[in-house]
Structure 1
Amino acid sequence: MCGICCVVTLGSQHAVHDFFNEDVLCHLRRRGPDSSQQLIKNVSDLSYQCLFSSHVLHLRGLLTPQPLEDANNNIFLWNGEIFNGVHVGDLENDTEVMFHHLALCSSEADILSLFSSLQGPWSFIYYQASRHSLWFGRDYFGRRSLLWQFSNEADSAFCLTSVSVYSQSDNQCQEVPASGIFKMDLKACATTKSLSLTLFPWKYSCAEKTGEEVFINVLNQASKDLPNHVSLVMNESKLCLKAPVIPLNKTLSEVSGECPGTNMSNVTNMVSVETLQGFLAKQHKKKNVHQFINVLNEAVKRRVLSLFRGEDQKTEVPCLSDRKAHIAVLFSGGIDSMVIAALADKHVPLGEPIDLLNVAFMIKEQAKKKGTTKKQVQHDLLCPPEGCKDFDAKTGAHLPCFDVPDRVTGRAGLKELQGINPSRTWNFVEINVTLEELKKMRQQCINHLIYPLDTVLDDSIGCAIWFASRGEGFISNQGELKPYKSPAKVVLTGIGADEQLAGYSRHRVCFKKYGLEGLNKELEMELDRISSRNLGRDERIIGDHGKEARFPFLDEDVVSFLNSLPISEKADLTLPRGIGEKLILRLAAKELGLTASTILPKRAVQFGSRIAKLESNSEKASDTCSRLKLFSGDEL
């Protein structure tokens, strides 16, 4: 993984360094601690200048500093992982492999064909010297962050970067749309002293005739947040990239509405792990489940083995105390993280620990003194009022004030995983966050990572993921709690499961109102917008710790398999929570040997970790979050 940045200036009135923010450089270096380099390309006869800055997190093959430049003066910056589509040898670095393939491209169509063939997350910047062209973009799902920022019209400057800093200026950053890849003709832009971009969009099949209306819609969506002085046009040849997944199967078939072997009048009380066995008795259901397990297993395998392990690989059975974790899982004990952890266990070398990162935010005293509702009574049982009186940040990992729902289910999930493989060292990392530390770190860095997103929901999820992926907490060592910081460079996350398998409460609302047809449309929209709602933000958050986010549920083969199934094979929202949503995943978990976690209802991280409502009880998730815009003293 890398932090990449490119600044372009047109005309000679400003040096390129005038537009390169030193605070951005600081954030980029945090993403790539293993190598930092800059390169300036000054084309004086055409009056444009480019600054390329790249910061590398070494994960595969030999350490390859960036930017890369070849004998023809082409320059390449890459923040990605090739998991399939283009061969990368075990000892090769995918940055060099991609640059080699790009150098062989003799036309726009060749470049599009290359990027269409890739499987894996990526963002890139490529300067094609002979044509004075700057290419850039993100993968189909937007699993790697890339932002763009345009100066005012008079300055004619342009910046691309993995991460920026919050600014109150008029020149706001925006996420580069994952609508396709973009090209800027620097020669033409320098001549006209204007900024113009060309789009090459994603389409399911470039062989099919694409209507003009579709192109116009894609273009309008991609350009809606651009400044007025920046133009975006469709490429004249109407060339496109072939989408790496198949379209969603919208076939409608009746859902059963029945849990095999149960009386539906008492179904809410009777749903149990055994209930899942009734579904698996149906041969077609079991076949689909096993196909799903196979494709998800391969996705996890690619993500835990595509990693340089150094000396650890040379010893078959080393002393356990000498081994460090290379793989971590954002872990709540819920169905998504449990399945990922169980599949990772199949491929991570046995002597290597797996870190399970479990975050909890300290529960406010006033929250524990409220009312008498059933939920509040259960809450008080978990977190008695006296629990926080003796809190000590250095030794207080098991204090009840951190026994939030995700901590409770996380511990239960740990026991299930230990039952599946007692030989594995499972590091259950209890990450405890006080309100004071939350405020401090949000103001110091998290708000810049969430930017340009700005809602209450972005704040809650972003802060929870930042503390979780930092991996600083406590683990139990022979019954004693010890401070621990996860050394794992790869962080697996379950995002994408809810979006594809109807895991959110809004999916039930949609199903009740509009039936299966409406639910299909909602799920199609979920994947279409996941790049702008989730993935860029989460990748910036996790990358800030010099770690790489990997998303098994968004593997191209996994998405294509799930897209091939009608919705009735993936979820049944006539059934109660804890079984109907993500039904195929629950059945897969049962087949993998998981137990109680297979019927846990969906619980979003902002509620499970108890960060939601920690600072304000009157906010809505969609509100603009004022806390993300507050600064004390000097701004970053």
Structure 2
Amino acid sequence: MCSISGIIVKENPISSKYSIDMMRILKHRGRDNSGLLIDEDVIYFEKFDDIKDIEKEEIKNITLGHNRLAIVGRYGVQPIPNEDESAWIVCNGEIYNYIELRDYLKQNHEFRTDSDNEVIIHLYEEEKLNEIDGDYAFALYDKSKNIVILARDTFGVKPLFYVDRKEYFAFASERKALWHLLINIDGLDKDLDLLNKEIKRIKPNSQLIYYLDDDRFEIIEEFKKIKSNYMSQHDYSTAKEYLDKALKRAVLKRVRGLDRVGIICSGGVDSSLIAKLSSLYCDVILYAVGIENSEDIIYAERLAKDLNLPIRKKIISEDEYEKYVFKVAKAIDEVDLMKIGVGIPIYVASEMASEDGLKVVLSGQGADELFGGYARYERIFREKGAEMLKEELLKDIKNLHSVNLERDDHCTMANGVELRVPFLDEEVVEIALSIPVEYKISELRKKILRDVASKYLPDYIAFRPKKAAQYGSGGEKIVYKVAKKFGYSKKKINEFLDLLKNKIIN
């Protein structure tokens, strides 16, 4: 996975140093190599010291920046052009059907790299971008039409943010790169809430088309249509079979070509099922994180022993609490009690994976929203009925990017590790949304998923009651402990969070 960033100049030229600074700020997302398009020139490099002279140049039109974390392909340095260099792309993503797409596209196109991302630019030429099956955020510069297209995957697994200012338009994989512009070009104060208020996100399943001729843009939403009713007439047994097969395919896509992957494992049904299915196709290592006596570590260790899977655990000691609270807040670019609490085990697990030389980890993110895992879903079902619950689940899937996915991406990429989430595979989502809610919530929540999982996992995992991540790992307790160390009680937690805001912006 990677970082992308760029600046479009509206009137007066801007120093190229700002675009290079954005790439520096995001280098943790792509440690292998970098590339930068500045107007008509393209430079590829490994160290920023190699391009010091470039910082003296000015941007007259546009820049596209890319830091690469090499996973697919040895020769995939970006930006990548089409054959006549009339279009260029930078992408943060994995295209899971790129082999099939490449076979189709090579009849009419010449490929310059072995990167999965290159198929995007040729699909664009064929007007078939909706054929992409993957997790991605990309920027595509079409010189012939003088437009830039910013796009994000169907459910927002990969992040993309932008600012539209008087002098420039800019985009980046993380908000912290845009803070730099707002502070140093626009002169805004170092106020986290103020800065984030100025930054907008590209919504999932949408495209922003920027017209350079007159410095305006339009946004196309719901780019790809998601089916949500084609399974509604199937009986329980058939729906379970469809779901089982779809989950296997989703996992296989995400581990194809990899010898080994990490699993962020809480010992709950979602991550444990992903761990077991992944182990069918490649070697896996489970990563379990928590405080002393946390349930997540206890269950994950028992699972690893029963399935004969390797596991690395980390019990976060009290003298590490402060370090991880500040690191997670800085990684996610915002200060939110729940997000930090959940983010801590994800950050620490990916830190261990990075130490082990892994570049890819998988998690069970998305399963609760698809299959009714939270208590509030059960209340809605009992009090307001199936249709209202179906609407709530769909709404939560569409909002998952801002609630969970951006946090998880930032926590793993802070350690140079890419997160993949099989439950948010398009086929799995379409099946889950089509399944009658009565199959999900009956005598227990996530019933159909648990029944699928019981085929692969011990019952103590398949039917383990849901416990929120921040409680199972002790993440929220860590935040309160650090607040107390700084002199803030639970009642004054918001004052501690304000302190955190100042810390991560300075």
**TM-score, length of structure 2 as denominator length:** 0.83
The answer to whether structure 1 residue 157 and structure 2 residue 40 are counterparts is no
1:129 alignment partner in structure 2: 143
Deviations 1:413-464 (A, max 9, x none): 112312xxxxxxx221112223443422443x4323212x432112212222
Q: Structure 1 528/406 Cα, relative in aligned 2: closer, same or farther at 3 Å?
A: same
Which of the residues 587, 591, 601 maps onto 2:455? 591
Q: Distance in 2 between matches of 1:463 and 1:355?
A: 19
Q: Structure 1 564/74 Cα, relative in aligned 2: closer, same or farther at 3 Å?
A: same
Deviations 1:115-134 (A, max 9, x none): 21111111000011111101
- What is the SS of the residue equivalent to 2:331? helix
- Partners of 2:13 and 2:61 within 8 A in 1: no
1:29 alignment partner in structure 2: 27
- What is the SS of the residue equivalent to 1:197? strand
- What is the SS of the residue equivalent to 2:386? helix
AA partner of residue 180 (structure 1) = S
Shift of 1:330: 0.6
Which of the residues 130, 146, 170 maps onto 1:116? 130
- Partners of 2:231 and 2:431 within 8 A in 1: no
Q: Distance in 2 between matches of 1:65 and 1:415?
A: 41
- What is the SS of the residue equivalent to 1:78? strand
Shift of 1:175: 2.4
Alignment of 1:366-385 (within 5 A): none
1:335 alignment partner in structure 2: 269
2:286 alignment partner in structure 1: 356
2:77 alignment partner in structure 1: 65
Shift of 1:613: 3.0
- What is the SS of the residue equivalent to 1:299? helix
AA partner of residue 427 (structure 2) = D
- Partners of 2:155 and 2:205 within 8 A in 1: no
Question: Which consecutive residues of structure 1, in runs of 5 or more, have no partner in the other structure?
Answer: 190-195, 203-240, 254-282, 310-325, 362-401, 419-425, 473-483
Q: Structure 1 300/557 Cα, relative in aligned 2: closer, same or farther at 3 Å?
A: same
Q: Distance in 2 between matches of 1:511 and 1:624?
A: 37
Aligned residues: 456
2:45 alignment partner in structure 1: none
Q: Distance in 1 between matches of 2:173 and 2:281?
A: 31
2:340 alignment partner in structure 1: 459
The answer to whether structure 1 residue 491 and structure 2 residue 361 are counterparts is yes
AA partner of residue 199 (structure 1) = I
1:183 alignment partner in structure 2: 209
Alignment of 1:59-98 (within 5 A): 59-70=71-82, 71-84=84-97, 87-88=101-102, 92-98=114-120
The answer to whether structure 1 residue 500 and structure 2 residue 500 are counterparts is no
Q: Distance in 2 between matches of 1:621 and 1:553?
A: 34
AA partner of residue 471 (structure 1) = M
- Partners of 1:8 and 1:50 within 8 A in 2: yes
1:293 alignment partner in structure 2: 244
Q: Which has the larger radius of gyration?
A: 1
AA partner of residue 405 (structure 1) = E
The answer to whether structure 1 residue 242 and structure 2 residue 224 are counterparts is yes
Q: Distance in 2 between matches of 1:631 and 1:21?
A: 24
Q: Distance in 1 between matches of 2:285 and 2:471?
A: 22
Shift of 1:94: 1.1
- Partners of 2:95 and 2:132 within 8 A in 1: yes
- Partners of 1:16 and 1:49 within 8 A in 2: no
1:318 alignment partner in structure 2: none
- Partners of 1:28 and 1:55 within 8 A in 2: yes
- Partners of 1:74 and 1:129 within 8 A in 2: yes
Shift of 1:88: 4.1
Q: Structure 1 140/625 Cα, relative in aligned 2: closer, same or farther at 3 Å?
A: farther
- Partners of 2:251 and 2:278 within 8 A in 1: yes
Question: Which consecutive residues of structure 2, in runs of 5 or more, have no partner in the other structure?
Answer: 42-58, 104-112, 180-189, 481-488
Q: Distance in 2 between matches of 1:404 and 1:21?
A: 43
Q: Structure 1 410/140 Cα, relative in aligned 2: closer, same or farther at 3 Å?
A: same
2:428 alignment partner in structure 1: 558
Deviations 1:570-621 (A, max 9, x none): 232xx2xxxx111111111112253321110011211111011333373699
Q: Structure 1 506/27 Cα, relative in aligned 2: closer, same or farther at 3 Å?
A: farther
Q: Distance in 2 between matches of 1:250 and 1:297?
A: 18
1:6 alignment partner in structure 2: 6
Q: Percent identity?
A: 25
Shift of 1:360: 1.0
Q: Structure 1 527/563 Cα, relative in aligned 2: closer, same or farther at 3 Å?
A: same
**TM-score, length of structure 1 as denominator length:** 0.67
Which of the residues 193, 204, 221 maps onto 1:201? 221
Shift of 1:21: 7.1
1:410 alignment partner in structure 2: 300
The answer to whether structure 1 residue 471 and structure 2 residue 336 are counterparts is no
The answer to whether structure 1 residue 610 and structure 2 residue 474 are counterparts is yes
- What is the SS of the residue equivalent to 2:85? coil
AA partner of residue 200 (structure 1) = I
- Partners of 1:461 and 1:605 within 8 A in 2: yes
Q: Distance in 2 between matches of 1:439 and 1:593?
A: 36
AA partner of residue 94 (structure 1) = D
Q: Distance in 1 between matches of 2:499 and 2:382?
A: 36
Shift of 1:562: 1.5
Shift of 1:61: 2.4
Q: Distance in 1 between matches of 2:285 and 2:81?
A: 38
Deviations 1:39-74 (A, max 9, x none): 21169xxx9421221011111123311112343342
- Partners of 1:438 and 1:463 within 8 A in 2: no
1:276 alignment partner in structure 2: none
- Partners of 2:5 and 2:19 within 8 A in 1: no
The answer to whether structure 1 residue 429 and structure 2 residue 312 are counterparts is yes
Over aligned residues, Cα RMSD in angstroms?
2.9
- What is the SS of the residue equivalent to 2:70? coil
- Partners of 1:34 and 1:56 within 8 A in 2: yes
- Partners of 1:416 and 1:595 within 8 A in 2: no
Shift of 1:623: 10
Q: Distance in 2 between matches of 1:622 and 1:188?
A: 44
2:106 alignment partner in structure 1: none
Of 62-71 and 127-136, the range deviating more from structure 2: 62-71
